[in-house]
């Protein structure tokens, strides 16, 4: 795409005032603006037609199914309406959207969140506890094995122990002004609400949630990585709106992430009975709004906070 066309696109979105940062962008750089991070050519993960026949291939397929529809294929462990593929776009393949091929090669790793070295399977467990507001499958459970097998398949031929271009979300510069709830609400209404709903409730098609709920009882809980305004802003700037990653300004990304992460959502499953004490232990960062008062509500207050672990009663799956 020529720069002039790109600017036209931004103007068409009503963002002309914030288009200055795009001026002079060369076509070759577009990829970096559209969710591909700052990498040169991103890694090419395996495609579905390369899945081999046999039990190994069957497990890869199951992993991909779980990844797309955890509420169907891993129902016992899922407590909300999210899918893995809502944040790990293109079913965990897209660079700049926390691709599973890069995640696979990054473990085992020490994590400040757990204060220990986690294996890849243990990292997957965290997704179920927090992002999926459910209960982690036990180590060795077929759900975890399938997800790990799928990720391994995608990562084939990548080196371990190195930072892979395209991993995680692209780092985002700090904004000129601190992230702002009111400005973020306007960004949300103009750019996000047509898919995610005015109340952040998401949107379904054919009985299935397509656009995920961003807050409320059916979204990620207060323990999830996405409750970090910085993480959310990085994801949003690189990947949202879908197909138009990079179209929001850095400031808009921080503002709308602040708005999204200042809403009511399910309780942190590590809640110790006291919001401020829980914040001090697990969310003691300016990037978390947990325990802060927004619109007269203390975020995380049990009186106004949906419960954690809303997955169906545990059943033995294997």
Partner 1 sequence: MRGWATRKAASAGIVAAALVLSLAGGPAGADDSLIAAGGALAAHGATAERPGCASCHMQNGAGQPDVGIPRLAGLTAQQIATQLGYFADGARQDPAMTTAARLLSPLQRQQAAAYFASLPIPPEPDRLATDAALRARGQDLFRNGDQRTGLIACALCHGATALGVGEFSPRLAGQSAAYVATQLQHWHSGALRDPQGAFMRAEARGMTQDDIDAVAAYVAALGDEETKSP
242 binds partner 1 (CB under 8 A): yes
**DSSP symbols for 56-87:** HHHHHHHHHHHHH-HHHHSGGG--SS--HHHH
Of positions 140, 161, 206, 296, contacts partner 1 by CB under 8 A? 206
Of residues 78-137, those binding partner 1 (CB under 8 A): 85, 89-91, 93-95
Of residues 249-278, those binding partner 1 (CB under 8 A): 264
Whether residue 53 has a cis bond before it, omega within 30° of 0: no
Are 155 and 104 in contact, with CB atoms under 8 Å apart? yes
The answer to whether the Cα torsion of 33, 35, 40, 46 is positive or negative is: negative
CB of 194 to partner 1, least distance (A): 5
Size of the site for partner 1 (CB under 8 A): 54
Greatest CA separation found in the chain?
58
Helices (H), 119-268: 120-126, 142-155, 181-191, 193-196, 229-239, 250-260
Are 221 and 268 in contact, with CB atoms under 8 Å apart? yes
Q: How far apart are CA 33 and CA 193, in angstroms?
A: 22
CB of 242 to partner 1, least distance (A): 5
Instruction: Using the minimum distance from each CB to partner 1, give the nearer residue, 233 or 238.
Output: 238
Instruction: Using the minimum distance from each CB to partner 1, give the nearer residue, 93 or 167.
Output: 93
207-224 burial code (b ≥16 CB/10 A, e <16): eebebbbbbbbbbbbbbb
68 binds partner 1 (CB under 8 A): yes
239-251 burial code (b ≥16 CB/10 A, e <16): bbeeebbbbbbbb
Of positions 38, 114, 160, 199, contacts partner 1 by CB under 8 A? 199
The mark string for 9-48 relative to partner 1 (x by CB under 8 A, - otherwise) is: x--xx----------------xx--xxx-----xxxx-xx
309 binds partner 1 (CB under 8 A): no
Question: Which residues would be at the binding site for partner 1 (CB under 8 A)?
Answer: 1-2, 5, 9, 12-13, 30-31, 34-36, 42-45, 47-49, 68-69, 72, 85, 89-91, 93-95, 194-195, 197-199, 201, 203-206, 208, 210-211, 216-217, 241-244, 264, 302-307
């Amino acid at each position: 795409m020529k720069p002039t066309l790109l600017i036209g696109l931004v103007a068409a979105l009503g963002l002309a005032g914030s288009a200055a940062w795009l001026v002079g962008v060369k076509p070759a750089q577009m990829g970096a603006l559209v969710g591909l991070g700052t990498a040169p050519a991103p890694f090419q993960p395996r495609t579905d037609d390369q899945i081999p026949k046999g039990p190994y291939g069957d497990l890869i397929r199951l992993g991909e199914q779980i990844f797309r529809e955890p509420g169907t294929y891993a129902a016992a462990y899922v407590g909300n309406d999210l899918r893995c593929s809502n944040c790990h776009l293109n079913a965990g393949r897209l660079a700049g959207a926390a691709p599973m091929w890069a995640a696979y090669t990054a473990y085992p790793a020490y994590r400040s969140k757990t204060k220990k070295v986690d294996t890849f399977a243990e990292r997957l467990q965290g997704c179920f506890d927090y992002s999926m507001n459910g209960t982690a499958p036990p180590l060795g459970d077929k759900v975890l094995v399938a997800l790990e097998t799928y990720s391994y398949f995608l990562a084939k031929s990548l080196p371990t122990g190195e930072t892979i271009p395209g991993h995680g979300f692209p780092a985002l510069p700090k904004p000129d002004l601190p992230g702002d709830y009111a400005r973020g609400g306007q960004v949300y209404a103009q750019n996000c609400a047509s898919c995610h709903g005015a109340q952040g409730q998401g949107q379904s098609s054919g009985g299935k949630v397509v656009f995920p709920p961003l807050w409320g009882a059916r979204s990620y809980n207060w323990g999830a990585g996405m409750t970090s305004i910085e993480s959310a802003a990085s994801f949003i700037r690189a990947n949202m709106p879908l197909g138009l990653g990079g179209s929001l300004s850095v400031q808009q990304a921080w503002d709308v992430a602040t708005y999204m992460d200042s809403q009511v959502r399910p309780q942190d499953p590590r809640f110790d009975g006291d919001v401020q004490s829980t914040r001090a232990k697990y969310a003691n960062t300016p990037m978390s709004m947990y325990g802060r008062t927004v619109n007269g509500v203390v975020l995380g207050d049990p009186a106004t906070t949906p419960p954690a672990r809303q997955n169906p009663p545990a059943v033995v799956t294997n």
